[in-house]
Chain A
């Protein structure tokens, strides 16, 4: 599948520009760009420093000692690859498409494109990118790879992802965590329509395994503003037979308050679990979403001193 199936040229251009930023922030635009906090077992020389008692004698540079009759220690930087795993929510609620502005497409559509952009960006930086798609359970798992051809594998998997039924996000996250073993970056793209504590318990599996977790919460603008006016019959996308016939105008305010309460709970919970939460709507340009991601990664990188 060509990548242009998911990413427009304009998006690619934006991503191309963004890669300038990415090169400076993300560890490993190319091999070695990922500055490793670990030193030693590596091939990239870093510096000489005078020997101090207690240093491992295996690190002495005997050639320098022969030339200068002084003890110097050779230091190397370890070269690592970022292992990013994208968890893509394919539950029924992601199928929502606005009847008001159908050009925006469904949330799933947007999620796939966003995931494609991220995968492209990550692999272009010579990092590893993997993919987990799920609905009621994990449907596909593609382990992270760094080779350029892996992008095509990921995009094909995204294309083939079918939208399923009801999500139990907490359980699914718990199941997926067994597949993501090596420490890395976990990116969840979902509308997060689930029980917040259960979802956070699922994410806790990743944070406990010292993964960096980012959550892109993806909502349609209709779900944020509830702009409907006439009588509507709201039918559940995940479970059949669940529906509500209402005059939306009468409930708009109550709905918005309920939504805000839910989002507030989610923010609080993510902050407590040190999970980055990026709230997106499907009318947000992908570039803006990626910029938000990269900016947040940059901020975190500086905070961690890496």
Chain B
């Protein structure tokens, strides 16, 4: 409580005036000789108590009138805990939710999107700030992107930039946004500091809201020299029917020319309305290929399967799209596919040691693997082409010229390699190549450990510590442990419909001891021994198996899982070094170049057509060019002179597709927990700001009260005059 005219508060002493008048009246009475005393005495006797009570009430009312008048003239103001003077400038950070859910349009409303409303509210908040105030707008979604780097007094400039903003960001993290906003206010120098969060307050944005988060925010606020006011400004909009393409997955990691690729699109209905007969379109390189229709009930999801065959190698884009008219951002899911014409693999067979003539099928160690990698090569009229181009050689052919151009080298039961070969292979792996080692009966364990493991410093991620099994029968053997596989090469068998590892029996295997540091066991035997161990080395990867890949130590090559397992292992190994060409918005994109480009910088083309240049850096004999941030969904292209365009795709995370927002009660509860205030719109904010600055004026109330008491005094006088018992 404060007073604009503090001096007039002394006027409350005027309450004495009626008291004095009362006492004067009583003392300066008029004397009168009265005849009808017997009547008067009776009346006084009967009404003494009433008269006294009425006199006290009247006195109180009369004393209250000058007190109220004095207070009203002193212009009292009900202020909050902070005393702000009039139009003192302040610092305001507006955290503007730019996550793509803000694109949602309420079909029943004016057609404005949530972001249009939020932008208008942001502008309104900036307009209410007094002259000299500093403001900053920060876009929230998949991180934070300030419109101006610091708090600036040029509010018009900030407001002008709002028009260019779009809601195309990933998930907005509500608690993080509040912390970021508070941190942004740390540089403020004014007494008044406001943090305004303009958002649709989607449930997903506050899924991580917990007491820990709130405590972190409170701790951050406590560190501030001045406690900022937090204002939550929800954008009110009804969510309509929303469908979302949640994900698009290809059947193979490495897609080759002429191969039939299965494209699985997951479509979800994230709204509370059923979606009947919705067309879903597959586009390849922008051209429509196929349309399927599906109906999805509210809250359900469905998988759609498309098939496509790429006729040409090189970069391609896939798009699965639908249209729901509410939220366009999650209607399209893009996938960049680098279609490879062939995958050259060198199979080194220990059985060819010293002899170049191949043994009759299937005596050679790599026979089963060769067939598994090139299943169509055996059939002249096969409708499909083999992606993998495998060449079988003996250990002595591990040479520089043989490794050149290969993506994968497989050492199958190779008894011994030279140190020079080891160096060659190390360089090959470090440059991005992949090495698969499957030891067998020919392997000299000691030399293996010495040359390839080197006490943890060699190529092999695991040391061979012993041999288990004698190959006498299945009863003593082992199978692959049926656990959940995280590795992409094996994750196919997480679904029992795709077969089971239990069919494969391993009779004999080496006991591998993985290095603790960075080796990863990607499959185990039912005995607990590692079956496959991998480690990244340089840009490449090394995978060591515990058993042979022919039928000598088990029946794995004769089971149905052998072919897809080997195909996927090789494809994974071959594409391991390839940087991801599909990322979520906000993540960087990196292109790997085989040759040094002529220029130091390369040009990236963003989805909106604008281009930016980024430097090329060398790493491990290869060259990388990275676009540090993808801030919008769409297709990104790397333009290199005399080379095909590299294509990358960025998609928005789908959490934002769930348009449900916090209810009013939940929002109030949130505000209460963090000491914030919820204002519905700009007018409410202006009123709140005004009341906070100037306080809530009380003098009108006091004038009215004083006037009411004046009338009340008259009425009481009349009423009391009528009262009394005869």
Q: Hey, which bits of chain A sit against chain B, CB under 8 A?
A: 92-97, 99, 107, 191, 193, 220, 223, 228, 230-239, 242, 244-247, 249-255, 257-262
Residues of A within 8 A of B34 (CB): 96, 234-237
B: number of interface residues (CB 8 Å):
32
Asked if B725 is at the interface (CB within 8 A of a chain A CB), the reply is yes
Q: Is the CB of A232 within 8 A of B25?
A: no
A99-B32 Cα distance, complex, nearest whole Å: 8
B403 shortest CB reach to chain A, Å: 120
Closest 9 CB pairs of A and B: A257-B726, A254-B724, A93-B35, A96-B35, A234-B34, A231-B29, A236-B37, A258-B726, A254-B43
Contact partner, B44, options A92, A97, A236, A244, Cβ 8 Å: A244
Q: Is B35's CB under 8 angstroms from A251's CB? A: no
* Complex-state Cα separation, A230 to B29, whole angstroms: 7
CA–CA, A247 and B25, complex, Å:
9
Q: Given contact pairs A251-B724, A253-B724, A258-B39, enumerate 15 new A-B contacts (beta carbons under 8 Å).
A: A93-B37, A95-B33, A97-B33, A232-B30, A233-B29, A234-B32, A234-B34, A235-B32, A235-B33, A235-B34, A239-B37, A244-B41, A246-B40, A253-B721, A261-B726
Complex-state Cα separation, A12 to B625, whole angstroms:
137
Q: Inside 8 A of A261's CB, which chain B residues have their CB?
A: 726
| B457 is an interface residue with CB less than 8 A from chain A | no
Q: Which residues does chain B contribute within 8 Å of A244, judged by CB atoms?
A: 37, 40-41, 44
With both chains docked as a complex, state the minimum distance between the C-beta of B33 and any C-beta of chain A, in angstroms: 5
**B residues within 8 A CB of A223?**
35-36
Q: Which residues of A contact B38 (CB under 8 A)?
A: 193
A251 and B44 contact, CB distance less than 8 A: yes
Assess whether A238 is in contact with B37, with CB atoms less than 8 Å apart. Answer: yes
State whether A230 touches B30 (Cβ < 8 A): yes
Is there an interface contact between A99 and B30, defined as CB atoms closer than 8 Å? Answer: yes
B635 to chain A, nearest CB (A): 94
* Cβ contact within 8 Å between B36 and A193: yes
B112 interface residue, CB < 8 Å from A? no
Asked if A231 and B36 sit within 8 Å, CB to CB, the answer is no
Q: List 29 A-B contacts (CB under 8 A).
A: A92-B35, A96-B34, A191-B36, A228-B30, A231-B28, A233-B29, A234-B32, A235-B33, A236-B34, A237-B34, A242-B37, A242-B41, A244-B37, A244-B41, A250-B55, A250-B720, A250-B723, A250-B724, A251-B43, A251-B44, A253-B724, A254-B43, A254-B47, A254-B723, A254-B726, A255-B39, A255-B726, A258-B39, A259-B39
Instruction: Kindly state the separation between the CA atoms of A247 and B27 in the bound complex, as whole angstroms.
Output: 12
Interface string of B707-726 (1 = CB under 8 A from A): 00000000001001111111
CB pair A258–B32 under 8 Å, yes or no, is no
**A260 to B36 Cα, complex, angstroms:** 13
Q: Looking across the interface, which residue of chain B has its beta carbon closest to that of A239?
A: B37
Q: Is B6 an interface residue (CB 8 A)?
A: no
For the complex, what is the distance from the CA of A132 to the CA of B346, rounded to whole Å?
Answer: 160
B residues with a Cβ closer than 8 A to A are 25-26, 28-44, 46-47, 51, 54-55, 717, 720-726
Does the CB pair B722–A253 fall under 8 Å? yes
Closest-by-CB residue of A relative to B36 is A223
Report the minimum CB–CB distance from A196 to chain B (whole Å).
11
Contacts known (A250-B720, A253-B723, A253-B724); A235 close to B31, Cβ less than 8 A: yes
Beta-carbon contact of B29 and A254 below 8 Å: no
Q: How far is the CA of A96 from the CA of B40 in the complex (A)?
A: 15
- Contact check, B725 vs A252: say whether CB atoms are below 8 A apart: no
Known contacts: A258-B726, A259-B36. The answer to whether A249 contacts B717 by CB under 8 A is: yes
Complexed CA–CA distance, A260 and B41 (Å) = 15
Give Cα A238–Cα B246 distance, bound, in whole angstroms: 110
Do residues B32 and A233 form an inter-chain contact, with CB atoms below 8 A? yes
Least CB distance from B446 to A in Å reads 123
Residues from chain A with a CB closer than 8 A to the CB of B25 are: 230-231, 247
| Inter-chain contacts of B722 with A (CB < 8 A) | 253
Q: Collect the chain B residues with CB atoms within 8 Å of residue A259's CB.
A: 36, 39
Determine how close the nearest CB of chain B comes to the CB of A78; give it in whole angstroms: 45
Nearest B residue to A252, CB-CB:
B721
| Chain B proximity of A161: nearest CB distance (Å) | 17
The distance in angstroms between the C-alpha atoms of A74 and B108, with both chains bound, is 126
Within the complex, what minimum Cβ distance (angstroms) separates A56 from chain B?
Answer: 58
Assess whether A246 is in contact with B726, with CB atoms less than 8 Å apart.
no
Nearest A-chain residue to B26, judged by Cβ: A231
Q: In the complex, how many angstroms separate the beta carbon of B231 from the nearest chain A beta carbon?
A: 57
| Distance between A186 CB and nearest chain B CB, rounded to angstroms | 23
Is A237's CB under 8 angstroms from B29's CB? no
Report the bound CA distance from A131 to B46 in whole Å.
40
A100 nearest CB neighbor, chain B only: B32
Contact between A250 and B721, CB atoms less than 8 A apart? yes
Contacts of A262 in B (CB 8 A): 39
The interface residues of chain B lying within 8 Å CB-to-CB of A260 are 726
List, in ascending order, chain A residues with CB within 8 A of B30's CB: 99, 228, 230-233
- The complex places the Cα of A244 from the Cα of B722 at a distance, in Å, of 20
Which chain A residue lies CB-closest to B25?
Answer: A231
**Shortest distance from the beta carbon of A14 to any chain B beta carbon, whole Å:** 28
What's the minimum C-beta distance from B438 to chain A, rounded to whole angstroms?
117
Instruction: Check A251/B32 contact, CB under 8 A, given A237-B37, A258-B39, A258-B42.
Output: no
Instruction: Please determine whether A251 and B47 come into contact, CB atoms closer than 8 angstroms.
Output: yes
Q: Establish whether residues A233 and B31, one from each chain, have CB atoms under 8 Å apart when the complex forms.
A: yes
Neighbouring B residues of A247 by C-beta, 8 Å = 25, 51, 55
Closest to A256 in B: B726
Q: Are B29 and A228 in contact (CB under 8 A)?
A: no
Tell me how far the C-beta of B223 lies from the nearest C-beta in chain A, rounded to whole angstroms: 67
CA A101 to CA B28, docked complex, whole Å: 21
Q: Which residues does chain A contribute within 8 Å of B55, judged by CB atoms?
A: 247, 250
A247 CA to B56 CA in the complex, in Å?
13
CB closest residue in chain A, given B717: A249
Q: List the A side residues contacting B26 at CB < 8 Å.
A: 231, 245
Is B43's CB under 8 angstroms from A220's CB?
no
CB distance A251 to B51 under 8 Å? yes
**CA A156 to CA B31, docked complex, whole Å:** 33
A60–chain B nearest beta-carbon distance, Å: 64
| B404 CB to nearest A CB, Å | 121
Partner of A237, one of B35, B42, B724: B35
* Separation of A242 and B652 alpha carbons in the complex (Å): 101
Give the one of B34, B44, B721, B723 with max A CB within 10 A: B34
Collect the chain B residues with CB atoms within 8 Å of residue A232's CB.
Answer: 29-32
CB distance from A98 to the nearest CB of B (A): 9
Of residues B25, B36, B722, which shows the largest number of chain A Cβ atoms within 10 Å of its Cβ?
A: B36
- The answer for the CA separation of A257 and B724 in the assembled complex, in Å, is 9
A304 CB to closest chain B CB (Å) equals 35
Tell me the smallest distance from the CB of A239 to a CB of chain B, in Å.
8
User: How far apart are the CA atoms of A104 and B472 in the complex, in Å?
Assistant: 150
- Residues from chain A with a CB closer than 8 A to the CB of B32 are 99, 228, 232-235
Tell me, in angstroms, the Cα distance from A230 to B27 when the chains sit together.
Answer: 11
Asked if residues B721 and A249 are in contact (CB atoms below 8 Å), the reply is yes
List A contacts of B43 (CB < 8 A). 251, 254-255, 258
Residues on B with C-beta less than 8 A from A228 are 30, 32
A226 to B722 alpha-carbon distance, docked (Å): 13
In Å, the complex CA distance between A217 and B34 comes to 17
Are A255 and B723 also in contact (CB < 8 A) when A94-B35, A96-B34, A231-B26 are? no
